Amino acid sequence: MAYTMSPSPPAPVGSQYCVCKVELSICGQNLLDRDVTSKSDPFCVLFMEVNGKWVELDRTETAVNNLNPAFAKKFIIDYHFEEVQKLKFALFDQDKSSTQLYEHDFLGEFSCTLGMIVSSKKITRTLLLGNGKPAGKGMITIAAQELSDNRVITLSMAGRKLDKKDLFGKSDPFLEFYKPGDDGKWMLVHRTEVIKYTLDPVWKPFTVPLVSLCDGDMEKMIKVVCYDYDSDGGHDFIGEFQTSVARLCEAQDASPLELECINPKKQKKKKNYKNSGIIIVKSCKITRDFSFLDYILGGCQLMFTVGIDFTASNGNPQEPSSLHYINPLGTNEYLSAIWAVGQIIQDYDSDKMFPALGFGAQLPPDWKVSHEFAINFNPRNPFCSGVEGIVQAYSACLPHIRFYGPTNFSPIINHVARFAAQATQQETASQYFILLIITDGVISDMDETRHAVVQASKLPMSIIIVGVGNADFAAMEFLDGDSRVLHSHTGEEAVRDIVQFVPFRNFRNVPKETLAKAVLAELPQQVVQYFKHQNLPPINSEPA
């Protein structure tokens, strides 16, 4: 996405290793009429590209005599952010009862990636014939929706005057929550902690998915059982009650809900039995636990920037030994990394204009060293059109610069951080920035880089570092805070881990998709983590 510094924040534009189910709804408009005596009877077939071949996944029902069908049957697909999932939607006019597609008249097709659909939420495109020409005025509309109930329930519970079960002391109460299983038996959903030596316990608030507690049905009966804990596992039954989430939701901070805890055996035996204590619902809140896909479907744009290392340690780009040498196949490790990451992320940026920056080179005409220059030599407009534009600008700039040094990361990190900081003024989940740095060696400005990363961890921003060549990348591992929290040289801690480092050498002899999966694996959770921390819901999100 093209972005420039502006005095006022721009208007908003427009998903856990991210695996969710997406439902696609299909409509056709102005389809070709293949039948002589009546209108076409269209159905839609969904294909996915697997190992270079189109494989059929599913089909809709047939819409009889209808050139503008809205199909009731939905397509359901597993969504993987870190993969390019190529889809093809083909429409046919049903002529016979045969399942063989060649027996039916072809009405047109449309191909795209699943990423394109979810980033737009809804797309309408021209249907094409096999020769690439439009299928008359035929159009297809595809709408995406995440198939998940993302509501969570947070309960704050207490007890009062529970039955005393221990001979020499008070009870050690805990609660268990059950829902009815498919087999009709009660299924355990949640167990609270044990509160020792009290008949008036106050349990810590806890949060569970609403689907776990009641299958998302607020009226469904659930059972709550109270026990007295025994270390030998023979917990003593205190009492139980049945209720629904809808009833629990009556509890408010100012007016808690009180429910009697009943022991049925005691109730039968004792005429004057009232209860075995009271369970108090102090508060019950239902909120949404938003996923990465919720943010993308809400219109969040991923803003992609590339930073390329042009230091002398890369070697002369004219020599085959250089990491910047473009081989006869038209590629090198730098280009492979750009393609692997860029082809995924470009689907999530509506205008596909990406800044591409270089560092560590001397630039014409005065040959001063720069650690933050536009590789298209246009500092006012460093944007390249799509991944192809980055590749073209990279190839074009190589003969015109002198590789130099040192390897300073902080200027480029701070460059992107300035735009990410401006995006925070919008106070919406509309933009998240991704900086891909491709480098061959050891960082020269480690203190400044650590400081820049710690500051950037407070912003809607992630940094991906791909190390090319065979250098020692220990410093990069240090920046990637998977195993420990990163500190700046002043001792300040990173708010969250935003750096993902991978050495390219680990991926030289594997399919190119494997690099993208490794590099982008952590990105969805980093996006969600940031917006949750800022308490920002997706744009246009529904209340729980």
Angstrom distance (rounded) from CA 429 to CA 12: 8
Query: Measured between alpha carbons, how far is 112 from 137 in angstroms, rounded to an integer?
Result: 19
Characterize the bridge pairing of strands 353-359 and 301-309.
parallel
CB 290 within 8 A of CB 541: yes
Tokens describing residue 271? 């005429």
Q: Of 131, 147, 163, which closes a domain?
A: 147
Rounded mean pLDDT for each run of 10 residues along the chain, 544 residues in total: 34 40 94 86 96 95 93 92 95 89 94 96 96 96 89 95 82 94 87 95 95 92 95 90 96 90 94 94 93 93 97 94 94 94 93 96 96 96 96 96 96 97 92 96 91 96 94 80 79 92 91 89 93 90 71
**CA 529 → CA 152, 160, 526, distances in Å?**
16, 38, 5
* Cα(503)–Cα(491) distance, integer angstroms: 27
3, 303 Cβ separation under 8 angstroms: yes
Is residue 111 included in any domain, yes or no?
A: yes
In the structure encoding, which two tokens stand for residue 248, read together?
A: 């629990």
Asked if the bond preceding 538 is cis, omega within 30° of 0, the reply is no
- What is the pLDDT, as a whole number, of residue 511? 85
- Residue 475, C-beta contacts closer than 8 angstroms, at least 6 positions apart: 442, 443, 446
Structure tokens at 385: 């059109």
243 plus 308 within the same structural domain: no
Q: Does residue 380 sit in helix, strand or coil?
A: coil
Whether residue 420 is contained in a domain is answered as yes
Q: Are strands 151-160 and 173-180 parallel, antiparallel or unpaired?
A: unpaired
Number of domains in the chain: 3
Residue 520: both structure tokens together:
């982008």
pLDDT of residue 496: 93
- Rounded-to-integer distance, Cα 434 and Cα 420, Å: 9
Indicate if 351 and 480 belong to the same structural domain.
yes
Query: pTM for the complete prediction?
Result: 0.80
In a domain, 5, yes or no: no
Q: How many other C-beta atoms can be found within 10 angstroms of the C-beta atom of residue 530?
A: 24
Calpha distance 442→475 (Å, rounded): 7
Asked, for residue 2, whether it belongs to a domain, the answer is no
- Locate all alpha helices (DSSP H) within 57-132, ordered by sequence: 114-120
Alpha-carbon distance of 388 to 376, in angstroms, equals: 13
- Are 299 and 393 contained in the same domain? yes
Pick from 127, 147, 167: which residue ends a domain? 147
Q: Which pLDDT score, from 0 to 100, does residue 19 have?
A: 57
Identify whether the C-beta of residue 12 lies closer than 8 Å to the C-beta of residue 364.
no
Please tell me whether residue 462 adopts helix, strand or coil conformation: strand
DSSP one-letter code for 7 = S
CATH for 301: 3.40.50.410
Q: What pLDDT, on a 0 to 100 scale, did the predictor assign at position 44?
A: 98
How many helices (H) and strands (E) are present in the chain, helices listed first?
12, 26
- Report yes or no: 419 and 2 within 8 Å, Cβ to Cβ: no
CATH code of 138's domain: 2.60.40.150
pLDDT of residue 11: 27
Tell me the C-alpha to C-alpha distance, in Å, between residue 223 and each of 39, 142, 193: 56, 42, 17
Cα–Cα distance for residue pair 251/399, rounded to 1 Å: 71
Q: Residues 228-276: pLDDT tens digits?
A: 998 878 899 999 999 999 999 999 878 999 999 999 999 999 889 999 9
Same domain, 343 and 456: yes
* Concatenated DSSP letters of 269-327: H-TT---S-EEEEEEEEEEE---HHHHHHTTPEEEEEEEEE-BGGG--TTSTTSTT---
In a domain, 304, yes or no: yes
Domain hosting residue 339, numbered range: 293-534
Has residue 512 been placed in a domain?
A: yes
How far is 413 from 436, CA to CA, in rounded Å? 10
According to the model, what pLDDT value does residue 7 have? 33
- What phi and psi values does residue 298 have, to the nearest 5 degrees? -80, -5
* Domain end among 288, 309, 340: 288
User: Strand, coil or helix: what is 16?
Assistant: coil
Q: What is the pLDDT of residue 481?
A: 67
222 in the same domain as 98: no
Tell me: do 181 and 142 sit in the same domain.
no
Statement to judge: residues 475 and 520 lie in one domain:
yes
pLDDT recorded at residue 231? 83
For residue 13, being part of any structural domain is answered with no
Q: Are residues 392 and 413 in the same domain?
A: yes
- Quick check: is 347 in a domain? yes
Looking at the fold, whether 215 and 339 belong to one and the same domain comes out as no
3-state secondary structure 315-374: CCCCCCCCCCCCCCCCCCHHHHHHHHHHHHHHHHCCCCEEEEEEECEEECCCCEEECCEE
- pLDDT of 284 reads 96
Domain match, 143 and 25 both? yes
Q: Which residues contact 487 (CB under 8 A, 6 or more apart)?
A: 450, 454, 493, 494
pLDDT at 17: 42
Q: Does one domain contain both 507 and 374?
A: yes
Looking at the fold, whether 319 and 276 belong to one and the same domain comes out as no
